[in-house]
Amino acid sequence: MSNDVFVITEHMDGKFSDVSFEMVGKAKELASALGGQAVAVVVGGGVSSNGFASDSTIHIDDAALSNFNPEAYGKVIEALVKEKSPRVVMFGWTITGMDVAAWLSARTRAPLVAYAKDVRAEGGGIVVSSQVYGGKLMAEVAPEGDMAIVACLAGSFPVEAGQGSTAATTMTSPVDVGSLKVKFVEAIKPAGGDVDITAQAKLVSIGRGIGGKENVELAEELAKALGATVSASRPVVDAGWLPRTRQVGKSGLKVKPKLYLMLGISGAPEHLEGMKSA
Amino acid sequence: MNIVVTIKHIPSIADDLPVKGDNVDFDSVDFVLNEWDEHSIEQAVLIKEAVGGTVTVIGVDLIGELDNALHLALAKGADKVVKITADDPAADSHMQAKWLSEAIKGMGANMVFAGVQASNDLDGQIGPMIAAYLDMPYIGGVSSVEANGDSATVNKEFAGGAGAKYSVSMPFVAGVQSAPKPPRYAPVSKVRQMAQSATVEKVAPSGDASSGLAFKKMAPPVVTGHAEMIEGSSKEVAAKIVELLKSKGLA
Ligand SMILES: Cc1cc2nc3c(=O)[nH]c(=O)nc-3n(C[C@H](O)[C@H](O)[C@H](O)COP(=O)(O)OP(=O)(O)OC[C@H]3O[C@@H](n4cnc5c(N)ncnc54)[C@H](O)[C@@H]3O)c2cc1C
C-alpha cells in the first residue's frame, strides 16, 4: 500500500475537462498531508498529458482507448490500482466518472464517496464531505480500509492549482482492450442551428415548475421584453418543450450571462453546475 | 427480450430532510420512487413494445411501502414485479445492489436497467455495482437503447448535446438518464386496478456487502450567500424586480 492519491483525469476531443485540474490540485494537498504523491492518470490517446501540476503523471497511451468506453476504462483503471495500491483514487462525479467509480468500488471492495465537495486528511485516513439529497444535506464520512474512491463534483476546487508542466510517463494498456462487450460506434455531435445560449448576456431559464409546454410562450414574451433568450433545465428539454440546445447544466451547456432569471427551477446541483458563473 | 428494471425507493427531497444522529431521520420522511427510475421503466416498456418480451421491475422494500411504486410500474406496462423485503431504511447502495444482484441472478435477464443515479447515492449508484456483482458490462448516462438480436445500440450522453453511440453485447446493465420519450402517465384507476389484482413477488434479502463508510456527521449545508425575499402582491413584486433589474442596468 502507498499513500499516493491517484486522479483519473477526463478528456474529450484532445482537451482535459476542468474537473481534472481541480482534482489534481486537491490531490496535491491531500497527498502531502498523507505523505504520498499526487499522480495524474490519463487514459487514452490523442491528448497531450504534460499539463498537470501532479508529482507524476501516468499516461496509458493507447489509440484503442481514445474514445471513452466504460468497460475498457474500468478494466484499465482496475488493473492499474491493483498494481499500484494508491491510498485514494479520485474520479470526477461526471457522466464518464460515474460509469466507473461505483463499478470499481464493487470490484475492489474499496469504499466510494460520491457527490464529494471536499476531502481532507485526518488521523492517517481521509474524511470526505458529500452533498447528498440534491444538495439538501451534507454528509461527512470516513472511508474504512486501505483504499478509498472519491468521486468529486465538478467546480469544487480551483482549476489553477492543478495546472502545471509535469512530464508524463507513458505506459501501454495493462489489459487487453481488444475483446470488449461495449464497443464505441460513433460520436454524436450537438445539433446546431439554434441560438448559442452560452453567448447570451441575459437568459430567462424555465424549469418543470412552469407546468406545461403551453407556458413556454409566457417565458418567450418575458425574454423578449428583457432582450433575453430562453434557456431551460433538463426536465423541460426531456419533455420536448424546448430543444436540447437550450439546456443548462451538467449534461447541458455552461452559461455565464449577466442576468439569469430562473422560473420554476428548483436549483438541483446538476443544474447549478451549468450556471454558477452567471 | 427479458428486461429487468431495478428501482430505488428514496427519501423525498421535495421537503427539508430532518436529521437524527448522523443520518436522515427515516421515520419522519416520505419515500418516493427515484426520478430516473421512471425513465428506466419507460425505456424498458418501449423496447418491449418494439421487439416483444417481458419487463420485470424489482426493488428493495426499505420501509414496507414499495407496493405503490410497483403497482405504478405495472400500470405503465411492466409484466412482473418483485420486492426484496429488507425493512432497513438505512440500507446503502452497496447493500441494495448486492441484494438485487442475488435476486436477478436466476432471472436470465438480457438487459438490466437502473436509474443513472439517486440523490441518496452517497456510496455510489446501484447500476454499476449490480454490473460488477453480476459480471456484466455497465454503461450509464444512457438516453436511448435499441435491441437488435443479442446486442443493443446504446446512446450515451456527454454534455451540451454531445454523446456517443455504442454497441453493447447482452447481457449488460445500463444506467438510464432519460428515455427517448417522456415517461408515460398511468391513470390512477389503472394503478388502483393493479393494486387489487396484481401479485407482488416477495424475495428475502440474500448476500452481504457494505459501503465501508463511517458516518461522522449529516447536516444541512452552511449558507454562505444571502437571499432577499420580496414581499407583496404579484404586481408589487414584479415592480420591485423591474426596479432592481433597471438599477443594475439589466432592463
Ligand atoms: C447525470 C445527470 C445530469 C443532469 N444534467 C442536468 C442538466 O444539465 N441540467 C438540468 O437542469 N438538470 C440536470 N439533471 C437533472 C437534475 O438533477 C434535476 O432533476 C433537474 O435540474 C430539475 O429540474 P427543475 O428544477 O426544472 O425541476 P424540479 O426540481 O422539479 O423543480 C421545479 C421547481 O418549480 C417550482 N414550482 C412549481 N410550481 C411552481 C409555480 N406555479 N410557480 C413557481 N414555481 C413553481 C417548484 O417549487 C420547484 O422548485 C441531471 C441529472 C443527472 C443525473
Distance A273 CA to ligand 1 centre (A): 12
CA distances from B72 to A148, A162, A220, B56, B176 (A): 38, 48, 35, 13, 18
Encode pLDDT of B76-129 as tens digits. 999 999 999 999 999 999 999 999 999 999 999 999 999 999 999 999 999 999
Between CA A96 and CA A74 the distance in angstroms is 10
Check if A144 contacts B (Cβ < 8 Å).
Answer: yes
Encode pLDDT of B221-249 as tens digits. 988 778 889 999 999 999 999 999 999 99
User: What count of residues does chain A have?
Assistant: 278
Amino acid at A217: E
Encode pLDDT of A258-267 as tens digits. 999 999 999 9
Question: Does residue A46 have a pLDDT over 90?
Answer: no
CA distances from B78 to A264, B32, B61 (A): 32, 18, 18
Our CA-based measurement puts residue B129 at a distance from the nearest CA of chain A, in whole angstroms, of 5
The reported pLDDT for the residue numbered B15 is: 86
- The residues, any chain, with a CB within 8 Å of residue B145's CB and separated by 6 or more, are B43, B47, B111, B113, B152, B153, B154, B155, B174, B176
How high is the ipTM of this complex? Answer: 0.96
Tell me how crowded residue B53 is: count the other CB atoms within 10 A of its CB: 16
Give buried/exposed letters for B7-29 (b at 16+ CB in 10 A, else e). Answer: bbbbbebeeebeeeeeebebeeb
Unique residue bearing C-alpha cell 444541512: B220
- The residues, any chain, with a CB within 8 Å of residue A24's CB and separated by 6 or more, are A7, A9, A38, A40, A52, A53, A54, A161, A162
Domain boundaries, chain B: 2-203
Instruction: Indicate which atom in ligand 1 lies nearest the CA of residue A253.
Output: 8
Evaluate whether B98 touches B210 at the Cβ level (below 8 Å): no
**Cell digits for A29?**
494537498
Helices assigned H by DSSP within chain A: 18-34, 70-84, 97-108, 216-226, 234-238, 269-272
**Cell digits for A81?**
490500482
Encode pLDDT of B19-65 as tens digits. 999 999 999 999 999 999 999 999 999 999 999 999 999 999 999 99
Cβ contact A137–B216 (<8 Å):
no
Between CA B32 and CA B13 the distance in angstroms is 9
Evaluate whether A116 touches A80 at the Cβ level (below 8 Å): no
Q: Which CATH superfamily is domain B2-203 in?
A: HUPs (3.40.50.620)
Q: A203: nearest CA in chain B?
A: B250
The reported pLDDT for the residue numbered B193 is: 97
Evaluate whether B131 touches A103 at the Cβ level (below 8 Å): yes
Helix (H) or strand (E) holding B35: helix B35-51
Evaluate whether B168 touches A196 at the Cβ level (below 8 Å): no
Encode pLDDT of A198-247 as tens digits. 999 999 999 999 999 999 999 999 999 999 999 999 999 999 999 999 99
- Residues whose beta carbon lies within 6 Å of some atom of ligand 1: A 95, 207-209, 233-235, 247-252, 264-266, 268, 270-271, 274; B 35, 116-117, 141, 177
The reported pLDDT for the residue numbered B224 is: 79
The reported pLDDT for the residue numbered B130 is: 98
Cβ contact B162–A188 (<8 Å):
yes
Check if A133 contacts B (Cβ < 8 Å).
Answer: yes
Q: What ranges make up the beta strands (E) of chain A?
A: 5-8, 11-12, 15-16, 38-43, 56-60, 88-92, 112-122, 125-132, 137-143, 148-152, 168-171, 182-188, 202-206, 229-232, 259-263
Task: State mean pLDDT over A11-35.
Answer: 96
**For all residues of chain B together, what is the average pLDDT?**
96
The reported pLDDT for the residue numbered B209 is: 94
Evaluate whether B112 touches B104 at the Cβ level (below 8 Å): yes
Radius of gyration of chain A (CA): 20
Encode pLDDT of A96-125 as tens digits. 999 999 999 999 999 999 999 999 999 989
Between CA A254 and CA A72 the distance in angstroms is 28
- Going by the DSSP 8-state scheme, the letter that residue A52 receives in this structure is B
User: What count of residues does chain B have?
Assistant: 251
What are the residues facing B146 on neighbouring strands? B153
Question: Does residue A193 have a pLDDT over 90?
Answer: no
